[in-house]
Amino acid sequence: MSNEKQTQADEHATEVESRHPIESRAIKVSMVLPPDTNHHGTMFGGRLMAYIDDVATISAARHARRAVVTASTDSVDFIRPVRLGNTVCLESFVTFAGRTSMEVFVKVTTEELLTGKREVTTTAFLTFVALDEQNRPTAVPRIVPQSSMEKQLYESAATRMAHRQQRRTEQIHIIGSLGTGFPWE
């Protein structure tokens, strides 16, 4: 990147040097319908993962005020099934920001509309990278947590980041040993 382009990216980041997680909050609510479910009457994990990526992308873009790309889905924990006829409410926000990357937390809550019973069914952490006009990584504002939950997630982000880096190193090693030929060759 030229010095001029880097200066522009850094100026963008310093326009707003920090943001609170609440500023990146995004919410998506959807009814779980028959096409969303498997033969057990529960929501397809892949469908829910698409919703998770969608709402997390919105949070990352709100924080960076830039185009963003998903760098990794660090974890998706399906704690309880999501049943046909329930609603799913996905809530996401940026928990930590590095120089160009952001960690986004997503919580999925279901609601039985006829009884009002609600429960957390899924949690996820994803990492996004902000891009400049040339689709190169660019600086993002830092995070200043406010609530106790935001502070807890912010403080534990370093541990998750170390795990991501270790997993990435292992994946690069594995990828290096894979061939690109067809499996029958």
Work out the percent of the chain whose per-residue pLDDT is above 70: 90
Which has the higher per-residue pLDDT, 185 or 146?
Answer: 146
Query: What pLDDT, in 10s, does the model give residues 21-52?
Result: 999 999 999 999 999 999 999 999 999 999 99
Residue 1's pLDDT is: 47
pLDDT at 5 over 90: no
Q: What CA–CA distances, in Å, run from 104 to 47, 73, 92?
A: 19, 10, 7
Residue 120 forms beta bridges with which residues?
Answer: 109
Question: CA-to-CA distance for 127 and 80, rounded, in angstroms?
Answer: 24
Contacts of 63 by beta carbon, 8 Å cutoff, 6+ apart: 19, 23, 24, 94, 97, 102, 140, 141, 143
Q: Is the pLDDT of residue 83 over 90?
A: yes
Is a pLDDT exceeding 70 seen at residue 11?
no
Res 4 pLDDT > 80: no
Domain residue spans of the chain: 3-177
CATH of the domain spanning 3-177: 3.10.129.10
Contacts of 164 (CB under 8 A, 6+ apart): 72, 74, 127
Q: What is the mean pLDDT of residues 87-91?
A: 98
What is the rounded average pLDDT of the residues 59-86? 96
Mean pLDDT across 42-68: 97
Spatial separation of the C-alpha atoms in residues 92 and 111, rounded to whole Å: 17
pLDDT per position as a tens digit, 95-134? 999 999 999 999 999 999 999 999 999 999 999 999 999 9
Residue 177: partners with Cβ closer than 8 Å, 6 or more residues away: none
